[in-house]
Amino acid sequence: MKRCLLMLGALLLSQPLYADECDNASTQGELNSCTAAQYQTADKKLNQTYQEALKRSSPQQAELLKKAQKSWIAVRDNDCAFVISGSEGGSIQPMVQNQCLADKTSEREAWLASLLQCEEGDMSCPLPPAH
């Protein structure tokens, strides 16, 4: 339950940051660039959290996490391909794609971050608590 609350809180806090970042964009090109930067920021944060989760994992868990991450990337990409299919070929397509990628990446980062908050004795959490 604690992990769910942490993930929800992280998602709620991240959305206003994205909105503020693009408030001054006035052209589609600027919006496309802004959302690309948002995705890059989210991806960088996800990679940092993922690396931390790998460090805390046992060798067997690390292999499972790597496999899960590869599968998640495929699902994320397929979901976003579906989402952008309605704007295919339009000038808004890069923005829609970047927003989808940023949103899904932030969700994944929040979930991985919640695994780093495990408490001693929480058998529903695969990673050991931080020392």
DSSP for 19-62 reads HHHHTT--SHHHHHHHHHHHHHHHHHHHHHHHHHHHHHS-HHHH
- Note whether residue 45 is domain-resident: no
Its domain, for residue 73, covers: 1-11+69-85+92-114
- Note whether residue 26 is domain-resident: no
Higher pLDDT, residue 14 or 126: 126
- Note whether residue 102 is domain-resident: yes
- Note whether residue 5 is domain-resident: yes
pLDDT 10s digits, 56-105: 999 999 999 999 999 999 999 999 999 999 998 999 999 999 999 999 99
Say what the pTM is: 0.79
Q: What is the pLDDT of residue 3?
A: 47
